[in-house]
A = this chain, B = another copy of it.
């Protein structure tokens, strides 16, 4: 097993799926000759040629709309939107068509496409390059919304996303692209969509997060153990939507206390749905109100202040203590 960054692991997933299945095609701005601005598609054009790796004109609705047509024909397009902040240009193509074509055609067509986009803060990027708005897609019936948290699950989930018969929005936490390496097997490894994972066991508190926020969350869990002797259970959602609350509910039934952590603005954000599911299914087990540690309801500031915006280990610990004290 090779140690890989998330960029390399994603690249591996793409390469192997393309080798296996000639219906997989990659398209987007700068994904070909340049290998993608983050190099996720590096080398693919050399291996597969410019008929399978398409450098497109600069038009997001064009990229997504064309992908939908390709998918209706039977291909499996994996398109890249250069930053998630430019995926609103194609919002209507996703909402009006990608999410609906199976339903509209009553199962004659379906849209096995993946929309990949880097999202989130933490890399000192320009304006519009650091947002975290996965809730838009999560609220849209007909889509799946996936966010990996490390090289290995990024690879396994991307493989599943490519093979998924329905459209998957795949947000890549760019802060993790090169943040650390993990062992990623060369041979096929698949991770199912729709299955959150418990990545740390504990009985005092449930911490629920995903994407780049998994790292401060896990750090906070360690610190809580060291300083407070608290055993926190940590769950990595991995699939934001359709949200499968099963292991969340089980965990909270055990711990009675929960904190939800995400970068997205708090109000009407993903955390609200998690809180609501737990309200529905674990209310009588709750010993304290669930806390949300999130981005504030403002626009993520330009990079000099983005650290202040993003949930920090300290903020997570403070909220955890509040929940534990209640």
Is A280's beta carbon under 8 Å from chain B? yes
Which one of A5-13, A17-25, A86-94 contacts B? A86-94
Contact B141 A299 (CB under 8 A): yes
CA distance A10 to B210 in the complex (A): 44
Within 8 A of B (CB), among A59-100: 85-86, 88-89, 91-92, 95-96, 99-100
Is A292's beta carbon under 8 Å from chain B? yes
Which one of A43-51, A116-124, A179-187, A264-272 contacts B? A264-272
Chain B proximity of A61: nearest CB distance (Å): 8
Is A194's beta carbon under 8 Å from chain B? no
Contact pick for A273, options B272, B279, B299, CB 8 Å: B272
Contact A241 B268 (CB under 8 A): yes
Q: How many residues of A contact B (CB 8 A)?
A: 49
Is A225's beta carbon under 8 Å from chain B? no
Closest to A86 in B: B92
Contact A243 B272 (CB under 8 A): no
Within 8 A of B (CB), among A128-142: 128, 133, 135-136, 138-142
Is A146's beta carbon under 8 Å from chain B? no
CA distance A242 to B138 in the complex (A): 20
